[in-house]
Structure 1
């Protein structure tokens, strides 16, 4: 069984969490799979910086831009912690064979909105030259402080966030298994992927 929204935050503890379609978060077992993952070791000893007046996810991206502009050609991972006046997230049902496409799986996504919830944004930034391999720019997930809810972020608002940012200077690409080796990867899925990752269902 493969989970569409597996978060996520294991810093120091070795614990990974998954967001299920009911909006809840549970601890993943070693047997659980994910359809796609970006994994990195996160250095929690880096300095903490403050971000203020984050009225939307677009504003958050704007406030992160100066950090990325120093070197836009590498990956970044971040953790931004605080209390969110608004948090809008989504998650999808677990998938089994024959596996649906991302757009098919997301057509049944569930969305959840929370107010005054404490937790962390866990995000990855991918540089432009990996287009087609990973999603370009920032990809944001949420995990609540009490580890009970989380998912892919569609919208947010916060007065103040404590930010830690890690540059990622090396990376290993692609799985090593027969399914990947025999998969036809020539189809251009960029438009479908952008629609799924960037838009809420109305």
Structure 2
């Protein structure tokens, strides 16, 4: 097995601080990213949609909320992937908001000091997603770019919700806490998840004890001014 695709290992391209700062240049192709795992989330070059890697296939959510499959020659500025292999599965019924779901998941995990991947399949009584809009050069910081984002809400939708929980000590490198993307079962709807409720779903959990991050190899990253953008990240993610 390719050592970069070992289950329970997380691979990340770039830092969340770099992305929020406006570094949207493509750093790695989807073809190479697939060599790192079969499951993950991210975005595309120029913030051209939300990226979801599900069972080895890449999907882009467009600004209108629609989803389509991507060719592997596209590039991304930021992504987090793993070779998904669950070690526990749980059933969740009638959990009525994101905050309660996070509390429930926190009680399932062994420690808040390691990474976890989560893969939900089921029916969601409510799903609120958002999708970024493609940016043109010169790129704006994300806090400005998300002014153009589109928000969608769905009721009684069946599909896949997936993402990661990162420890608090990766602040600046990734988003501490939970970060999910959604794709409907029919692969027609999706996006970055900002709120959801579960009617009936199974969640598979993978504990990830190894984290590998690759930094962008370009002048924009080399010259980036490193600042504390934690407040901006919280606003972008909510």
TM-score by length of 2: 0.76
Residues 83, 119 of structure 1: 8 Å contact kept? yes
Offset at 1:73? 1.2
Q: Say whether residues 1:33 and 2:84 are aligned partners.
A: no
Q: 1:30 to 1:100 in 2, by over 3 A?
A: farther
Which runs of structure 2 are paired with 1:43-122 in the superposition (5 Å)?
A: 43=85, 46-68=87-109, 70-122=110-162
Q: Matched residues in 1 for 2:172 and 2:160: separation?
A: 28
Determine which of 193, 196, 202 is the counterpart of 1:162: 202
Decide which structure has greater helix share: 2
SS at 2:143 equivalent: helix
Q: Matched residues in 1 for 2:187 and 2:71: separation?
A: 15
Once the two structures are superposed, residues 111-161 of structure 1 have per-residue CA deviations (whole angstroms, 9 ceiling, x without a partner) of 011111100110110001101110000011111111111111121122221
Q: Matched residues in 2 for 1:34 and 1:171: separation?
A: 19
Q: Say whether residues 1:150 and 2:190 are aligned partners.
A: yes
Runs of at least 5 residues in structure 2 that lack an aligned partner in the other structure:
1-44
Decide which structure has greater strand share: 2
Offset at 1:85? 1.5
Offset at 1:9? 3.1
TM-score by length of 1: 0.88
Runs of at least 5 residues in structure 1 that lack an aligned partner in the other structure:
none
Q: Which residue of 2 aligns with 1:192?
A: 232
SS at 1:50 equivalent: strand
